[in-house]
Chains A and B, each alone.
Chain A
Amino acid sequence: MTAVILTADASLAPSSEARIPGNKGIWVGIFSEMTEFALLFSVYFLAKAHHPEAFREGPPQLSTLAGMFNTIMMISGSYFVAKAVMAIRRNQRDVSARWLYGVAFTIAGYLLTKYFEFQWNVEHGITGRTSIFFTTYYYLTFTHMVHIVWGAMGLLWVTVRTKTGAYSPEDHEGLEAFASYWHATDLAWLIIFPLLYVLR
């Protein structure tokens, strides 16, 4: 599988060592986001080192199903937005918009799952003060959720721009910038999920 991936053709985007997906501004935002999460992950590692028991007992008390479902939502949203970018490069505006609706569906699925998960936590007596593990869990997942909400606003903007014909195969910088941000938010979750839900 890896061999297949490594020999795959390049995308329709121009291949260049100087090319910046989206624009410089969005990458300042993305690196700020990644730095913010790096700090929160550092807190996680330090808290785990100091309180190994809490981090062994915490994950089994969470709903792994909710975490897994949201991982599927994040990966799928990332895939849908990559397909939307590919469609606009082929000048298929309506197809691109349909993929963006798919991203909206994954955001709704994510937020709905988070709502039920937090409710489930409360019913099982889990709050941010239950243990240091859950304090870390709420910090990380709330912060991620805030980034999802920002992304939802960005999605609304690029969907309207796509529908009104603002993007073309030659110029779709805004859509690429949103896609890059959304992939970064997916990346953060790809670390949060194993740290909080899977590893003991």
Chain B
Amino acid sequence: MSHDKLLDTLWLLLIILTLAGTLLGESADPGLAVTLIICLTMAFKGRMVIDHFMELNTANRKIRNMMRAYFYVLPAVTILTSLFGDWLARLTTL
């Protein structure tokens, strides 16, 4: 697959994931399963933009790793806040 074709395919995929994620968030009852799906989608979309739109998959390793790490940490913290929000609140109460 040429890089041009890859960009076209990814754009379509990212749009579909956005529409599907929004529909899920609007229609499903809030819960851990929905949070997990939304966060996994967030991580996947970020990784695709970093690797292929930014072209970091074939560029500087340090920059690539730091950018990829951002999209491991943020979705993980989102899930952890959902699961352990009370604990975090107690930990950060003066």
Contacts and interface: CB of A to CB of B under 8 A. Distances in A.
Nearest to A46: B92
Contact of A194 (B38, B58, B61): B38
B54 to A, nearest CB: 5
Interface in A6-29: 7-13, 15-21, 27
A45 B61 contact: no
B1 A200 contact: no
A4 interface: yes
Contacts of B5: 8
A197 B25 contact: yes
B11 A75 contact: yes
Interface in A42-70: 45-46, 48-50, 52, 56, 64, 67-68
Report, as a range, how many residues of chain A touch the other chain. Answer: 35 or more
Interface of B: 1-7, 9-11, 13-15, 18-19, 21-22, 24-26, 30, 34-35, 38-39, 41-42, 45-46, 48-50, 52-56, 58-61, 63, 66-67, 70-71, 74, 77-78, 81-82, 85-86, 88-89, 92-93
B1 A79 contact: no
A9 B2 contact: yes
A88 to B, nearest CB: 13
11 contacts: A4-B1, A5-B6, A21-B55, A46-B88, A67-B22, A71-B22, A72-B18, A78-B53, A79-B10, A79-B53, A86-B3
Given A199-B38, A199-B78, A76 B52 contact: no
A64 B49 contact: no
A184 to B, nearest CB: 8
Nearest to A12: B3
A41 B1 CA distance: 37
Given A86-B7, A195-B78, A19 B25 contact: no
